[in-house]
């Protein structure tokens, strides 16, 4: 049976980008595949969080995963740092990862530009840790958003390289998985780019109705089109893109027509969008609050996940050690 794997860094709450980029696909796949879903707490160390923040965020993300419909009876849900074998595979992959190729990764170059005072080796080797996360379970499919395509290419490269160096057909080449025909980029509401935690433009699944309404009403737009059927500037296109994701086809068609006939009132559109986002988020938010209160259940899910993920990872490491030439 093919294996699916997905993960999220616990650096805040889940936002609509995480949900529609990765979690939604995973929820759909968990019935038919062997699935691993993990909380990437090692990855989060690149930004040096405080211990109490890590503890809290891991618990929060776990509750949010469960509230989104990831079912611990079907999928293995685990915390990355509970599976020590991932660190061993990361070490092996790093030995065959070259400085030049790591420095060329776009997200690394972006981090260098944005945070010049904290360019640590963890940031540089982020693609090898991500490859270790995937290859440790020999995953075939990885639900990810568009922003992860280059890291996925690196994971494939590292898998191929390992197979070539040791002349084995051991690691499968993992492919990105998306529900539609191409990777999804959920836009932010600040006029450009993607929705993200560090971008400060995210709508979180835990946001209450007023917060969501305020965020949407503040979204960047313009004075409106002056010619029929004109092209949408990026900020407006983003608003429509978000609507395509959360609203019905009829709603999208209605506002597109209004735009094309220059009759659009962004206030009305935002009100509708906020309503549709709320209709989507409210039931999930209620579940998040319910599950977060049940610490015993969360501990139980994490413990069981750690055990199952460790079994799978230990087998890979046993085989990898033998391939490399170490004692079993």
Catalytic site positions: 111, 194, 197
> With the C-alpha atoms ordered 31, 36, 41, 45, is the resulting torsion angle positive or negative?
negative
- Residue whose CB is nearest to ligand AMP in the complex, by number: 21
CB of 23 to ligand AMP, least distance (A): 8
> In 3D, which of 242, 290, 204, 196 has the Cα closest to residue 14?
204
> In 3D, which of 111, 286, 126 has the Cα closest to residue 206?
286
Among 49, 172, 191, 196, binds ligand AMP (CB under 6 A): 196
Among 129, 132, 139, 186, binds ligand AMP (CB under 6 A): 186
Side by side, the strands of the sheet bearing 175-177 are 75-79, 34-39, 3-8, 141-143, 175-177
Is 22 a binding residue for ligand AMP by CB under 6 A? The answer is yes
As beta bridge partners, residue 34 has 3
Among 195, 205, 243, 301, binds ligand AMP (CB under 6 A): 195
Among 3, 4, 5, 8, binds ligand AMP (CB under 6 A): 8
Both tokens assigned to 187: 């836009």
Is 145 a binding residue for ligand AMP by CB under 6 A? The answer is yes
Contact letters for ligand AMP, residues 245-284 (x by CB under 6 A): ----------------------------------------
> In 3D, which of 206, 209, 214, 208 has the Cα closest to residue 189?
214
Per-position DSSP letters for 154-174, written without gaps between them: HHHHHHHHHHHHTT---S---
- Residue 279 burial class via C-beta count within 10 angstroms: exposed 0-12, middle 13-18, buried 19 and up: exposed
| Candidate ranges 96-104, 190-198, 272-280, 302-310; the one touching ligand AMP (CB under 6 A) | 190-198
Is 207 a binding residue for ligand AMP by CB under 6 A? The answer is no
Among 3, 5, 13, 18, binds ligand AMP (CB under 6 A): 18
Name which of 146 and 258 has its Cβ closer to ligand AMP: 146
What does R_g of the chain's alpha carbons equal in angstroms? Answer: 21
Name which of 281 and 320 has its Cβ closer to ligand AMP: 281
Is 59 a binding residue for ligand AMP by CB under 6 A? The answer is no
Is 89 a binding residue for ligand AMP by CB under 6 A? The answer is no
Name which of 184 and 291 has its Cβ closer to ligand AMP: 184
Name which of 125 and 264 has its Cβ closer to ligand AMP: 125
Start-to-end Cα distance in the chain: 26
Distance CA 13, CA 103 (A): 29
Is 27 a binding residue for ligand AMP by CB under 6 A? The answer is no
> With the C-alpha atoms ordered 262, 265, 271, 272, is the resulting torsion angle positive or negative?
negative
Q: Can you give the binding site for ligand AMP, defined by CB under 6 A? A: 8-9, 17-18, 21-22, 144-145, 147-148, 184-186, 194-197
């Amino acid at each position: 049976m093919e294996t699916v794997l997905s993960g999220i860094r616990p650096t805040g709450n889940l936002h609509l980008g995480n949900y529609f980029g990765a979690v939604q696909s995973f929820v759909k796949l968990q019935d038919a595949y062997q699935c691993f879903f993990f909380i990437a707490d090692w990855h989060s160390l690149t930004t040096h969080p405080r211990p109490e923040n890590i503890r809290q965020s891991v618990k929060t993300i776990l509750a949010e995963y469960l509230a989104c419909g990831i079912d611990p009876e079907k999928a293995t849900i685990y915390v990355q740092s509970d599976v020590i074998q991932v660190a061993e595979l990361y070490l092996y992959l790093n030995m065959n990862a070259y400085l030049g190729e790591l420095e060329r990764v776009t997200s690394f170059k972006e981090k260098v530009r944005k945070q010049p005072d904290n360019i640590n080796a963890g940031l540089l080797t982020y693609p090898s840790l991500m490859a270790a996360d995937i290859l440790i379970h020999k995953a075939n499919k990885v639900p990810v958003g568009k922003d992860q395509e280059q890291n996925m290419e690196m994971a494939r490269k590292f898998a191929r390289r390992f197979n070539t160096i040791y002349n084995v057909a051991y690691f499968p080449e993992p492919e990105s998985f998306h529900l539609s025909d191409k990777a999804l980029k959920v836009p932010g509401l600040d006029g450009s780019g993607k929705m993200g935690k560090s971008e400060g433009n995210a709508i979180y699944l835990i946001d209450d109705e007023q917060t969501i309404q305020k965020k949407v009403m503040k979204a960047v737009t313009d004075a409106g089109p002056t010619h029929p059927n004109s092209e949408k500037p990026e900020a407006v296109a983003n608003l429509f893109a978000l609507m395509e994701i959360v609203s019905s086809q009829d709603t999208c068609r209605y506002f597109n027509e209004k735009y094309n006939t220059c009759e659009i009132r962004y206030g009305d559109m935002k009100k509708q969008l906020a309503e549709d986002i709320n209709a989507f988020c409210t039931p999930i938010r209620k579940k998040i609050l319910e599950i977060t209160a049940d610490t015993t259940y969360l501990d139980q899910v994490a413990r069981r996940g750690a055990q199952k993920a460790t079994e799978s990872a230990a087998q890979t490491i046993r085989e990898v050690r033998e391939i490399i030439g170490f004692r079993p």
